[in-house]
Amino acid sequence: MSNGRVSVCTESAAAAREADVASRMLAHLARLAKEKDRLGRELLQWHEQLNRMFELTAHISQLRDPDEIELDLIRRFGTLLAAGAVFLDRAGCCQQIGLDGGAGAAVTAGPDSVRQALAVHVEAVRTTGRTIVPVLSASEAAALANSRVLVAALQGTGCEPGVIIVLRSASERAFEQRDVLAAESVLAHGAQVLSNADMVRHLQQTALETVCTLVNAIDAKDNYTATHSERAGGYARLLGEALGLPPSQLQALEWAGLLHDVGKIGVPELVLNKPGPFTAHEWEQMHQHPQIGHDVLKPVSQIIQVLEAVLLHHENHDGSGYPRGLRGREIPLEARIIHVVDILDALTTVRPYRQAYSFEGAIRLLELGAGRVTDPDLTSVLIETLRRHMAADPQGFRTRFGHAGGDPPTAGARN
């Protein structure tokens, strides 16, 4: 009988142990399932963040202006980190950067309070260049309404690196290591893009100085050409804006207007300033100035985009121009634009061999030559644009086109 009781007790103990093992296994499996879910969510968050990082870096890589790149980088960076507010601290000034849609819950702290509360952490980041999630003191946290804080360095184009301060609402999740890694990766790429853009801007400035030097070289031979070229550049930009051309093309147009007659430095002054009709030989000399200008500018790589406009700005719409006898759309857009504004300004300017046409007289001649000498569509847009400016801002129009005046002379135009 006792043996039976022992057997029953032993079996009960074994069953209890098995139940305990099973319970612990179920609990362990539950923990594993929970951890798997957590890792899955975290992996998804990493994936989404990486996608946003790639989109951000791809976007800023297409921009060219350093100021535009920096502003867009900071704005998109804040959105990437689901910020409620983003600030840039640089050169003793803290400014808030507006965020695009898709950021986190708004944080109401202002630039002054942010800079004062985080001064120590900002200087630490500026010195080390490292991204940190600072541990805030009670007073710092209170000043920022317990906002989550991430501070990162931005190596910009100035002498002093900027510091980006990212705040999240206290109701949002705390910043994690993946946020720090994302910040450092994005800002390192952004700094490289900024550096490249700043180098391009420096080269563009050098190119602009080269342009001014060349225009001055023309001015030394022919005072008319320099002032004419300035106006042609302005007219070309005005027409380009009316056509909706992008900023880079507008800049190229303005430079083309400034430089379209640079080849006249190779034409004798006696020919340039001759008060009477040209001989056949003198016309031949004048007809060489587009090619001379092209050859002079060709080594200047930063203004390579204006070469065709300089070379072909005397091509007529009907194919009767020079140097190649191109017609219609065979002539590049920039060259067609320079051609029509060149003629407009030449007509309304006093020359050694004739008086200036009035503005209305010049417009009538442009309309008569449209489709034969100039592109008819561009001519119409130019005339419409100038008339609109005249009606909207008469004083500004007179300031810009004040050289135009007088009655149409009987002599033909020569430019």
> Of residues 318 and 198, which shows the higher confidence score?
318
How much is the pLDDT for 410?
A: 36
Q: Which CATH class is domain 66-197?
A: alpha beta
**Mean pLDDT on 283-297:** 91
The amino acid present at 336, given as its one-letter code, is R
* Closest CA relative to residue 59, chosen from 44, 79, 83, 45: 79
Residue range 246-270, pLDDT digits in tens: 988 998 899 899 889 988 888 888 8
Query: Whole-angstrom Cα distance, residue 356 to residue 98?
Result: 52
How much is the pLDDT for 390?
A: 82
How much is the pLDDT for 136?
A: 93
How much is the pLDDT for 403?
A: 56
Band (64; pLDDT cuts 50, 70, 90): low
How much is the pLDDT for 248?
A: 82
Residue range 303-343, pLDDT digits in tens: 777 899 999 999 999 999 999 999 999 999 999 999 999 99
**HEC readout, the chain:** CHHHHHHHHHHHHHHHHHHHHHHHHHHHHHHHHHHHHHHHHHHHHHHHHHHHHHHHHHHHHCCCCHHHHHHHHHHHHHHHCCCCEEEEEECCEEEEECCCCCCCCCCCCCHHHHHHHCHHHHHHHHHHCCCECCCCCHHHHHHCCCCEEEEEEECCCCCCCEEEEEEECCCCCCCCHHHHHHHHHHHHHHHHHHHHHHHHHHHHHHHHHHHHHHHHHHHCCCHHHHHHHHHHHHHHHHHHHHCCCCHHHHHHHHHHHHHCCHHHHHCCHHHHCCCCCCCHHHHHHHCCHHHHHHHHHCCCHHHHHHHHHHHHCCCCCCCCCCCCCCCHHHCCHHHHHHHHHHHHHHHCCCECCECCCCHHHHHHHHHHHECCCECHHHHHHHHHHHHHHHHHCHHHHHHHHCCCCCCCCCCCCCC
Per domain, the residue ranges of the chain are 66-197, 220-401
Query: Whole-angstrom Cα distance, residue 259 to residue 225?
Result: 10
How much is the pLDDT for 256?
A: 92
Residue range 362-413, pLDDT digits in tens: 999 999 999 999 999 999 999 999 988 888 888 877 776 655 543 333 333 4
Average pLDDT value over all residues in the chain: 81
* Closest CA relative to residue 343, chosen from 232, 207, 213: 232
User: β-pairing, 85-90 with 148-154?
Assistant: unpaired
**Mean pLDDT on 181-207:** 74
Checking if the pLDDT of 30 tops 80, the result is no
**Mean pLDDT on 178-190:** 80
Topology (CATH) of 220-401: Hypothetical protein af1432 (1.10.3210)
Residue range 140-158, pLDDT digits in tens: 999 999 999 999 998 765 5
Residue range 46-63, pLDDT digits in tens: 445 455 445 555 555 565
**Mean pLDDT on 342-359:** 84
**Mean pLDDT on 201-221:** 71
How much is the pLDDT for 407?
A: 39
Residues near 290 by beta carbon (within 8 Å), at least 6 away in sequence: 263, 310, 311, 312, 313, 314, 322, 323
Q: Is the fold of 66-197 the same as that of 220-401?
A: no
Residue range 158-167, pLDDT digits in tens: 556 789 999 9
How much is the pLDDT for 381?
A: 96
Burial of 230 (0-12, 13-18, 19+ CB in 10 A): middle
The percent of residues in the chain predicted with pLDDT above 90, rounded, is 35
